[in-house]
Structure 1
Amino acid sequence: MWSLRLTRLALAIQPGRGQDADREGLHPLPLPVRSKPLLLAVLALVATAVVGLSLTSRRRPTSGLVDGHLRPCPTSPNCASSVCVDGAHGADPLPIYGDPQSEFERLVGLTQSLPRTELLQLTEDYAHFEVCTRILRFRSDLELHLDAPERLIQLRSASRVGHSDFGSNHATLERLRALFQGRE
């Protein structure tokens, strides 16, 4: 079907085939001169929006522990956390089988080894990282909390801008889990 359309289109743009092309509903490929400035304006608008979002994501949000726990996720789907129980935001915490403090320090070291990841804050039971996307340079916040009595490390990853993250925060947590469990 596609080859038939392409053949008809090729015939339509050949010299002398203009009337037949109009009757068959086919139009030549080149853009009219009037639409080129419009196309350039749309491209400039999209580029400005992407740059603006990238710059907006550089602001650091409120982070840290609230009453000894990671902050809950907002209602938007651009967050993943092990302290959330709903399906959209939920992720499993990391179980600890060895010494809790040394396992937390090991996870902090593994997280620092990830590309485009910067440690912003570190205490004995909390770590806050900034993770930057490769192409558009959007920033997310990755937080780790050692829950020593429960022998768990709680995780939270949240985008700073936008409504959806297309699953990137869940993917970040799963990659961290794989590194911690020695699968990657």
Structure 2
Amino acid sequence: MPSLTVILGAIVLIIIIGLAGLKILGIWSKKHPPESFGIEFLEYDPGTPNFVSSKASKKDRHVEPLKINGDSTQALSDLKDIVSSFPRTEITHISSDELRAETTSPFFGFVDDLVFILQPEESQIEVRSSSRVGHSDMGTNAERIQKIREHWEKRTPD
């Protein structure tokens, strides 16, 4: 029978290998963004519960778009200020009708994608937050969009 020292050593080794594997997965996620964005990306369902979107057809993955009250031309600029204020979040693209950002988890460096598309004719901004890797996000993306929504509603008068 192996000694306690050998068993504990094996457990520690397994933990170290597992943590290293997760870190490598985080690095991989940083280097492999989605191939396309836009409305198609908002509607895309990978079949895993690791995203939320205002265009999701499944109820448990659906979040409401951000409502625009007032000048839609200022909307993405205001949203950029909100999104960029979140820790470990980087704006990767902004145009007249789209904002994209990446947010990175603190330890392993997993990357999540944020996409916001201005729909001025509907007075709203379509939203998506999705994990690049993993099966479940344990509610992280829904929580992130909710926090963004709270900041948005504080900044946007009725």
- Shorter-normalised TM range: 0.7 to 0.9
2:76 matched residue in structure 1? 104
What is the count of residue pairs matched by the alignment?
152
The Cα offsets for residues 59-111 of structure 1, whole Å up to 9 and x where unpaired, read as: 212232147x7342321100100111312210011111101111222112211
Q: 1:72 to 1:156 in 2, by over 3 A?
A: same
Q: TM-score, normalised by structure 1?
A: 0.76
Give the drift of 1:113: 1.5
> Where does 1:84-103 land on structure 2 (aligned, <5 Å)?
84-103=56-75
Question: Which of the two has higher C-alpha Rg?
Answer: 1
Asked if the contact 2:53/2:62 (under 8 Å) is kept, the reply is yes
Listed as ranges, the gaps of 5+ residues in structure 2 are none
1:151 matched residue in structure 2? 123
The SS at the match of 2:154 is coil
The Cα offsets for residues 38-64 of structure 1, whole Å up to 9 and x where unpaired, read as: 113212221222112111211212232
Asked if the contact 1:132/1:138 (under 8 Å) is kept, the reply is yes
Listed as ranges, the gaps of 5+ residues in structure 1 are 1-30
The one of 129, 135, 150 aligned to 1:178: 150
- In the alignment, the residues of structure 1 paired with residue 6 and residue 60 of structure 2 have an alpha-carbon distance, to the nearest angstrom, of 46
The one of 83, 88, 100 aligned to 1:116: 88
Runs of 4+ in 1 over 6 A off after TM superposition: none
Work out the percentage of aligned pairs sharing the same amino acid: 28
The one of 47, 50, 53 aligned to 1:78: 50
Which structure has more relative contact order (CA 8 Å, sep 6+)? It is 2
What root-mean-square deviation, in Å, do the aligned CA atoms of Structure 1 and Structure 2 show?
Answer: 1.8
- In the alignment, the residues of structure 1 paired with residue 73 and residue 42 of structure 2 have an alpha-carbon distance, to the nearest angstrom, of 18
Asked if the contact 1:126/1:145 (under 8 Å) is kept, the reply is yes
Asked if the contact 1:100/1:151 (under 8 Å) is kept, the reply is yes
1:62 to 2:35 alignment:
yes
